[in-house]
Amino acid sequence: MAHRVTGVLIFFFLFVHVLDTALVRVSPEDYDKVVATYKTPIVALLEYGLVAAILFHALNGLRVIAVDFWSKGPRYQKQMLWSVVGLWLVLMLGAIYPVLGHAARELFGS
């Protein structure tokens, strides 16, 4: 279920991203306003959520491929799922500063 939910979330992000990028041709001033809103701490949290969704979707997709194409995959799917979750958690911890560092500096100062 999480794989499908993250896939839908990523799809909607890409849809909005294409629309806001297309705005630069229609109205560069409005595009600049939209991009300025992306520099807020709330959007930084949303970006962290996007990183979480993409990372989980990618790692779990590799697990699904292994289950489908490896003859022993179905037997080890639970262990692979916990491996995916563990790796995802480690990588998400590593992504905290690069993704949320700017928001933290903006909120709490340098």
Binding positions are 57
Residue stretches of the annotated binding site for heme: 57
d(CA 91, CA 57): 13
**61-83 exposure pattern, b = at least 16 Cβ within 10 A, e = fewer:** eebbebbeeeeeeeeeeeebbee
